[in-house]
Amino acid sequence: MPTTKYKDSLFFKFKSAEYHKNCCQDALTRLHLQSHSEKDSIAAESEFIAMMLTLHSCLDVFAQYLNRYFLNDYLPESKVTFYKVIEKVKDEEIKPFLLSLKDDTQYLIDFSNVIKHRNIVRISYYSAFLSPNFPTEFMDIDSFIKDEREYDFENVEFQLKFQYETVINQIKCILLILEKRLE
For residue 115, which of 163, 78, 83 has the smallest C-alpha distance?
Answer: 163
Residue 141 CB coordination number (10 Å)? 23
Q: How confident is the model at residue 136 (pLDDT cuts 50, 70, 90)?
A: low
pLDDT, one tens digit per residue, over 52-96 is 999 999 999 999 999 998 898 889 989 999 999 999 998 898 999
Mean residue pLDDT across the chain: 87
Segment 142-152 mean pLDDT: 90
pLDDT of residue 4: 81
CB 20 within 8 A of CB 47: yes
Percentage, residues of the chain above pLDDT 90: 58
Residue 167: count other Cβ atoms within 10 Å of its Cβ.
25
pTM for the whole thing?
A: 0.88
